[in-house]
Amino acid sequence: MLLVKVYISEKEKEKVTISKYLQGQFAEHLGRGIYGGLWVGKESDIPNINGIRSDIVEALKKINIPVLRWPGGSFADQYHWRDGIGDYKDRRKIFNNSWGGVVEDNSFGTHEFFELCRQLGCEAYVNVNLGSGTVREMADWIEYVTAKTGSTMADLRAKNGHPEPWKIKFLGLGNEAWMGGGYMRPDYYADVYRRYQTYVPEYNGDIYKIASGPGECDFEWTDKVMDIAHSFMDGFSLHHYSLTDTFYNKGDAVNFDETEWGSLLYSAKRMDDLINDNLYHMAAYDPEHKVDLVVDEWGTWLEAEKGTNPAFLYQQNTIRDAIIAATTFNIFNKHAKYVKMANIAQMVNVLQAMILTKDDKMILTPTYFVFDMYKFHQDADLIDAYCNNGSDISYTISHKNGEYIISVCNSSITADEDVTIKFNHKLGAPNYSKILAGKEMNDHNTFEEPKNVKEESYSGYSISNNEINISSKKMSIITIKIPVAE
Ligand code: AHR
């Protein structure tokens, strides 16, 4: 057993808030992410409100989802919004060429997305089509969604059942423009971005504009797009997926060995360098960091479950995924001054999901519980701390409403560790203490055994004055909330 000491910095630092949007979600028209996962239609026997599954909404509301990105991803660049409005029987059927060529009947469209956001109580992040769309199509969509009645677009929205305008808080202009979003070169994309953003109308509040950033460490992309277009954007996106090896050898989601545990975790931890390096390149053009970094796709990407359509990206989720979610949150939170939003890929049934469904059944994944335990850090003030040991330990310490919130993640497969944190104030009695832990490294929930992995109350800590000692179990995540006593 090792002893890890986490010291609270005594230095006077400016206040950094951990944006709640770092716990954002992403739902694409991909596999069973929307259809079957979220949307069953109003006529379904599965309980729903306005076609959206009630069991899923009820579970997701508990994790305080701040923002939802839609309709893609890759699909965004083949999405034409007019296909998804009006009477269901008249909606255009297309092939989803981004994801397996299956028929997309557009029954989940603009009205259904904003109804989902309403039910979840979250902000909308709409990714518009720069790959195969037009400037006018984008401008019309924003008018349709956000303008008060009086124009042809807004009146059409009212005719389709929603007279009140909705709000678009975040707008993505392009997705992976260097690949599926048009195979553009950075200078060309930067000019296309400048042109599109010129015609983003703001009828219902400010719209935060996000440019398509690099995949990982393509710094030529970062340099050129920032150089040419940084003064026209609020956010610059970054995508990073955790892979066991490569995209051609992704590794099994459940049957993996210790080496694969380590390599997937190593890949996840690269997020830290990717953020640092991209911020460094961005700062050359934007030294005051007016443009935020937005990691609008992240998570584990493993082999699709055997027997399922490989294009649907359906994968199981183990305690390893939970450790990766917590480790990644700890990285985001450390960079909270500059990283203002992140969206895990994806919310239901796709990649590192919160929830998996089978017909009318659903299970919560280990990753879901990490979001449940980290929700207390949303919009809390980051407490600057440093650690003298323990490469397997990562943590977030924050302060909100007179309470300290401590999350500790131990990614070791073998070793428990004692973590001591010394605060600058006396600690009261914790009012929340939970652990999510694995016994085996591939522990997961199934439809037959849905409660194998779940958060549980935890009393493995001791407090003395301003110091807490936490017994951090191997393969575990712990969150404790403690009022400041004086
Ligand atoms: O999340 C799955 C896909 O990964 C997205 O559609 C795309 O943007 C990325 O390549």
Most informative mutation of 129, 242, 297 for ligand 1 (most atoms within 8 A of CB): 297
Pairing of strands 2-8, 417-422: parallel
Residue 3's pLDDT is what? 66
Residue 7's pLDDT is what? 76
Residue 486's pLDDT is what? 67
Residue 11's pLDDT is what? 66
Name residues whose C-beta falls within 8 Å of residue 265's C-beta, 6 or more positions apart in sequence: 242, 320, 323, 324, 327, 411
Q: Last residue of a domain, which of 314, 345, 380?
A: 380
Answer positive or negative: Cα dihedral of 47, 49, 51, 53: negative
CA of 103 to the centre of ligand 1 (A): 19
Rounded CA separation 76/41 (Å)? 22
Say what percent of the chain tops pLDDT 90: 93
Name residues whose C-beta falls within 8 Å of residue 271's C-beta, 6 or more positions apart in sequence: 240, 295, 298, 328, 331, 332
Active site residue 58: no
Q: What number does the ligand 1 atom closest to the CA of 98 have? A: 6
Instruction: Express each pLDDT in 166-208 by its tens digit.
Output: 999 999 999 999 999 999 999 999 999 999 999 999 999 999 9
Q: Name the helix (H) or strand (E) containing 404.
A: strand 403-410
Domain hosting residue 464, numbered range: 393-483
* Nearest Cα to Cα of residue 303 among 314, 319, 292: 314
Same-domain pairing of 150 and 76: yes
Active site residue 417: no
Residue 194's pLDDT is what? 98
Residue 329's pLDDT is what? 98
Same-domain pairing of 261 and 211: yes
Ligand 1 atom 9: residue of nearest CA: 73
Domain CATH code at residue 435: 2.60.40.1180
Residue 151 burial (C-beta neighbours within 10 Å; 0-12, 13-18, 19+): middle
Same-domain pairing of 320 and 296: yes
Instruction: Express each pLDDT in 439-481 by its tens digit.
Output: 999 999 999 999 999 999 999 999 999 999 999 999 999 999 9
Same-domain pairing of 73 and 211: yes
Residue 94's pLDDT is what? 98
Residue 73 inside a domain? The answer is yes
Domain CATH code at residue 201: 3.20.20.80
pTM for the predicted model, two decimal places: 0.97
CB burial string 199-233: b at 16+ within 10 A, e below: ebeebbeebbbbbbbbbbbeeebbbbbbebbbebb
Answer positive or negative: Cα dihedral of 32, 36, 38, 39: positive
Instruction: Express each pLDDT in 73-109 by its tens digit.
Output: 999 999 999 999 999 999 999 999 999 999 999 999 9
CA of 31 to the centre of ligand 1 (A): 12
Ligand 1-lining residues (CB < 6 angstroms) = 28, 72-74, 175-176, 297, 345-346, 351
Region 53-64 average pLDDT:
98
Rounded CA separation 115/424 (Å)? 45
Of the candidates 28, 112, 123, 176, the residue annotated as catalytic is: 176
Same-domain pairing of 88 and 234: yes
Q: What are the C-alpha distances in Å from 310 to residues 4, 144, 241, 255, 474?
A: 42, 36, 17, 17, 33
Of the candidates 112, 297, 403, 455, the residue annotated as catalytic is: 297
Residue 134 inside a domain? The answer is yes
Region 274-285 average pLDDT:
98
Q: What number does the ligand 1 atom closest to the CA of 313 have? A: 2
Ligand 1 atom 7: residue of nearest CA: 73
CA of 73 to the centre of ligand 1 (A): 5
Ligand 1 atom 3: residue of nearest CA: 73
More confident site: 130 or 2: 130
301 dihedral zone (left: phi>0; alpha: psi -120 to 50; beta): beta
Q: Specify the number of domains making up the chain.
A: 2
Q: What number does the ligand 1 atom closest to the CA of 72 have? A: 6
Residue 247 inside a domain? The answer is yes
Q: Can you count the helices (H) and strands (E) in the chain? A: 9, 25
Region 143-152 average pLDDT:
97
Same-domain pairing of 135 and 249: yes
Count CA within 13 A, CB hemisphere, residue 327.
28
Average pLDDT, the chain: 96
Residue 464's pLDDT is what? 94
Angle, alpha carbons 465-468-469 (nearest 5°): 135
* Nearest Cα to Cα of residue 423 among 6, 11, 18: 6
**Contact of 461 with 470, CB cutoff 8 Å:** yes
Instruction: Express each pLDDT in 378-421 by its tens digit.
Output: 999 999 888 876 679 999 999 999 999 999 999 999 999 999 99
Most informative mutation of 74, 237, 294 for ligand 1 (most atoms within 8 A of CB): 74
Q: Please tell me the total number of residues recorded for the chain in this structure.
A: 486
Residue 228's pLDDT is what? 98
CA of 345 to the centre of ligand 1 (A): 8
Residue 3 inside a domain? The answer is no
